[in-house]
Chain A
Amino acid sequence: MLKTLFSLELKSLFRSPTWKQNLWMRILIVFAILYFVLIFLSLGVGAYYIIEEAQIGEPFEVINRYLIYYIGFDIVFRYMMQPMPVTNVQPLLYQNIKKSTIVHFSMLKMLYSFFNWSHLFFLIPLSIILTVEGQAAGQVWGWSLSIYFLLLINNYLNVLVNQKNVVFGLVTSLVLGSASLQYFGIFDITPYTQVFFTSLFNQSWLIAVAFGLLVVIYYSAFRHFRTRMYLDAGLAKKSERTISISENYFSRFGKLGLILRNDVALILRNKRARQAVFAGFFFIFYGLLFFTGAVEAYQGDTWKLFAGIFVTGGFLFSFGQYVPSWDSQYYPLLMTQNITYIDYLKSKYTLIQVFTAITTILSSWYLIFGLEIFSFVLLGAIYNLTINSVIVLWGGAYVRTKIDLTSNKKAFGDKNAFNYKTLLLTLPKILLPVIIYGVFDYALGPIAAKISIVVVSIAGYFLKPYLFKTIISIYQKEKYATLKAYRS
């Protein structure tokens, strides 16, 4: 039975319109996966020797001490990026398949997720190195397996975090709490977790505990879904209370106002769109990595500009990237109504501008790091407002991912609003200004580099009508293909 379901799953993957139509996307995804595999691999091979080199203690002890971060970041990343298991179960409900089989399948399927197997590229080489360096092989592999169990616990914990608000609150406050306690030096958790991870090594029977915990988490997630496998429970379309949006306010903008009002409704009333907005606001904190000097590699000015663009461009990246996909469910309507492309694009453009302005204002707390740091936030904002807000619409014309705004149709809710594809499409919008800055910084110094970004932004602003024309011609050229992609 599981085999049949698995073959269905493979078919749905390889026959999905995004996969079939977008060769470049596939190539990019493969490259991204290779990139991360390489990172894990080099971390696995190198960690031991890097620590040895840095002389911060006995490598294995140090590893055990900081493993908690590895596992902590893992859960955070999973929450932000890992898609939830989506099995279109409704057609299966009427078939001769046990409901529990369907749920087990959906959950076991997750083991094939990148978020799970990628860790093996870290753990296996690390374990090999540890045995080479003289640790007892049996203990090392037991330790390694226990850690893998912990990561799998993260996997199912993340499922529960996504489903149950209580678990979400509990886990986030735990992660955020211990992270901030650590950051402000109030309480260092690592000596305690070091004891834990070391005992995973010394007391091999603890592997049974880890496995037992995994089973418990797995079953609570299983139970959660199993009890909701009814058309009027977990699979039901929830009828929402309506959120009213003033019509009068928007009517002053004419036809643009009409579309703008819809876009505001789109964001307020759809889970997927709301998630994109939240993801956008999270970017505001991304700058901390760069501006606090927390990561040594991120000290350069180009990195600070990089951060500035990210900090103020969260919404631009997480929402703008997917224009016009947000309207995929009713694209035929838009294509047959009295709507000009320019009104359509301007509405989205206005939205992006407004949100970028809001994020810029919210990012002004970076002033506590000094004017110099804040200038990079401003540079990022200027560049985003003038150039990226147009370019993002350009890129979107090629994305053509059908977005299901009411993600409830799928069994466990699809959580793809913010995923690796978004990140990949982000690169060109960031690399260009960073390169410009880097070149001018190298040739003429930091002041000239900053001016260069402002000049490029102003030039971009005046090029806007021309750029819009180009984008419109792409929209027109891609019209049939886009309609086709959204239909399937």
Chain B
Amino acid sequence: MITVSNLSKTYKDTTVLSIESLELSKGEIIGLVGNNGAGKTTFFSLLLDLIKPSTGHIENNLIRVDQSESWKSNTAAFIDESFLIGYLTPEEYFSFIAGLRNINKADLNTFLDRFSTFFNEEILGKNKYIRDLSKGNQKKVGIAAAFIGAPELVILDEPFANLDPRAQMQLQNLIREINQDLKCSIFVSSHDLLHVSELCKRILILNKGELVKDANREEISLDTLRAFFTEEIAEVSETTPLPEDG
């Protein structure tokens, strides 16, 4: 599905991302974890051709994302609120996305039924523009829209952040269900190790722009995941003195 080769992104002389090679196969839920600045959003932006790679390239279904735009028909994403159109109501936004993905109204409604508990009666039929919804509800709209039209790849940046605990659990189930029904790949980043270890079949850890771990769920338990980050902290505090002004 996704082939990354020799990819790097450099701003002036800081390399923020460098992945020599990576293959993501179809139908998997893949988790991406890493501290702030590890390069998660950079990687997603490169996948979506929102920024230009300094070297290398990404292929999506054998299509180079920086050369052709045909990957757009089978890929969807929700990265942040810049993927929402604030002055539309959620219904209008959904039907806009559905129209772009050639889904008719009836199919859209059936699709949205799946999300009714997740929406918790706060999204549909409220006669409110998306910009007037709370951050959490905006997120719900964006996530649901990303799945419209059964794309083969769905990219979600921090989908669990800003959601209340109940919605977080519902979202986990939804992602799992949709993954099984539609056989789509879902690429999720999160700061919450628990979510990732529960949800994802394959887990990638980015650190300072480099892929430091790539393992299946069976090979990496929550404890090892946790240990990875605690060790890293220990390592950092041993080798580098704390900066004076914090």
Contact = CB atoms under 8 A, between A and B. Distances in A.
A and B are interacting partners: yes
Contact of B52 (A240, A241, A242, A480): A480
B84 A483 contact: no
B127 A242 contact: yes
Interface in B49-107: 49-52, 69, 72-73, 75-77, 79, 82-89, 92, 95-97, 99-101
Contacts, number: 84
Contacts of A333: 82-85
A441 to B, nearest CB: 46
A483 B50 contact: yes
B56 to A, nearest CB: 16
B192 interface: no
B72 A337 contact: yes
Interface stretch (B128-136, B200-208, B234-242): B128-136
A305 interface: no
Interface string A3-43: 00000000000000000000000000000000000000000
B86 A338 contact: no
A270 B131 CA distance: 11
A332 to B, nearest CB: 5
B129 A338 contact: no
Which secondary structure characterizes the binding site on chain A? helix
Contacts of B49: 335-336
A265 B75 CA distance: 26
Nearest to A270: B87
A239 interface: yes
Contacts of A486: 82
Given A258-B99, A406-B86, A487-B82, A335 B131 contact: no
B132 A258 contact: no
A265 B84 contact: no
A309 B29 CA distance: 57
B96 A336 contact: no
A175 B231 CA distance: 73
Contacts of A265: 87-88, 92
Contact of B72 (A258, A270, A336, A405): A336
Contacts of A216: none
A289 interface: no
A239 B83 contact: no
B87 A255 contact: no
A104 interface: no
Interface in A201-253: 237, 239-242, 245, 247, 251
- Size bracket of the B interface: 20 to 34
B97 A337 contact: yes
A109 B86 CA distance: 31
A329 B75 CA distance: 21
Given A255-B100, A337-B100, A338-B72, A262 B85 contact: yes
B196 interface: no
Contact of A330 (B86, B92, B129, B132): B86
Contacts of B85: 262, 329-330, 333
A332 B75 CA distance: 13
B48 interface: yes
Interface string A476-488: 0000100110110
A298 interface: no
A291 B246 CA distance: 68
Contact of B132 (A240, A247, A251, A335): A240
Contact of A262 (B76, B79, B96, B127): B96
Shortest Cβ-Cβ A-B pairs, 3 listed: A258-B99, A269-B87, A239-B132
Interface of B: 48-52, 69, 72-73, 75-77, 79, 82-89, 92, 95-97, 99-101, 127-129, 131-132
25 contacts: A237-B131, A237-B132, A240-B132, A241-B127, A242-B128, A245-B92, A251-B99, A258-B100, A262-B85, A265-B87, A329-B82, A329-B86, A330-B83, A330-B84, A331-B82, A332-B83, A333-B83, A336-B48, A336-B72, A338-B73, A338-B101, A406-B86, A483-B51, A484-B51, A486-B82
Given A336-B83, A405-B87, 4 more contacts: A239-B132, A330-B82, A336-B75, A405-B86
